Amino acid sequence: MALPKRIIKETERLVADPAPGISATPHDDNLRYFDVTIDGPEGSPFQHGKFKLELFLPEEYPMAPPKVRFLTKIYHPNIDKLGRICLDILKDKWSPALQIRTVLLSIQALLSAPNPDDPLATDVAKHYKEDEKDAQRVSQEWTQKYAV
């Protein structure tokens, strides 16, 4: 099926006017599949890290949210071992007015502001809740180890 106009437009804009610290490139053979890189936000334990993600636009997009997953290992209470992300706009708070860029920016924001109260990786969340400093240290270590 032909790619909807909207996806084409979004892709064009992502390439022409990328958001700072974020890059998203569609696969040649599947324009619904993007390789994404998000720079760890400054001032966060993920600073200096370059996190790889994959993003897939399902058939129903934009009526349904894109599917996004971290490929790079990350120590974050809202991101599990498999890279799955717990973010409301990727689920029930999705609105068709959102787009790839806003989704990626939200993810970047999530790195700056982990929310251990709505955890996905329960052990990490516990760690963050009990000893945030130590947890951040681990996050930093992981970033050094996997994302640089």
Partner 1 sequence: MADAQVPPGSPPAPFFAGSDDDEDFAMSEDASHAGPSSASLPQTPRTGASSARSSPPPPLFLHDSDVEKEDSMPVDLPSSSKHPPLMEDNDSDIEIVEQPREQKSSNDTQSSASACAHPNAHSPPATNISKKRRLSADPLPPSKASFPRTYLGELLVPNAWSNVSGKGYVKPNDTVLVKRDKEEHISKPSTAKPKPGNGKKKSDGKKQITLATMLKPQPAKPSKKKKADSIVRLVNSKGFEFGRLPTEVSWWIAKLLELDMVEIRGIMTDCPEKLTTGVSLIVTLHIYLLAGAFKPLKTSGKDEDSVSFGFNEGLETEDEVHLRERKNATVKLFDVLGLKPQAGARSRGKRPQGKIQEEPLKRRSGKKVKEIVGDGEEIEVDDGEDLSNNDIDAIYTKAQHNDRSMGEMEPSESFNLTLRGYQKQALFWMHSLETGAIDAREATSMHPLWSQYTFPQEPVIDGDMIDLTADDKLFYFNSYSGELSLDFPKAERNCKGGILAQISVSMIEMGMGKTIMLSALIQTSMPYQNEESGDTNVHSRVKQLKLNNAFRSGNNRNLQPAKSPSATLIVAPTSLLNQWAEELQRSSKPGTLDVFVWHGQNRLDLEALVDNDSDNRTLKIVITSYGVLASEHAKIKNSQSVKPPVFEINWWRVVLDEAHSCKSRTSKTAKAVYALSAKRRWTVTGTPIVNRLEDLYSLLKFLDFKPWSEFSFFRSFITLPFLAGDVKAIEVVQVILESILLRREKNMLDTDGKRIVELPPKEVVTEELEFTPLERKIYDSIYHLAKRNFEQLDAKGLVGKNYTHILAMLMRLRRAVLHPTLVLIKDDERALSPEKDGRADVNDLIKRFAEDGQTTPDGSNEFAENFMANLKGEDNADCPIYFNEMEVPMVVPRCMHQFCKDCIISHIGICEQRDQKPNCPTCNSGPIQSSELVEIASEPDVVLRQNDFQSSTKLDALIQNLRKLRAQDPCFRAVVFSQFTSFLDLIQVALDRERFNHYRFDGTMDVKKKSAAISDFKSPSRKPKVLVVSLKAGGVGLNLTTANHVFMMDCWWNAAVENQAIDRVHRIGQDKTVYVKHFIISKTIEKRILQIQKRKTAIVNEAFRGSGKADPESIQNLKIMFGDD
**3-state SS, one letter per residue, for 17-72:** CCCCCEEEEECCCCCCEEEEEEECCCCCCCCCCEEEEEEECCCCCCCCCCEEEECC
CB of 65 to partner 1, least distance (A): 11
Query: Which residues make up the interface to partner 1 (CB under 8 A)?
Result: 5-6, 9-10, 60, 62-64, 92-93, 95-99
> Which residues carry out catalysis?
86
Strand partners, 85: 79
Given the complex with partner 1, which of 4 and 21 has the nearer CB atom?
A: 4
Nearer to partner 1, 29 or 92 (CB): 92
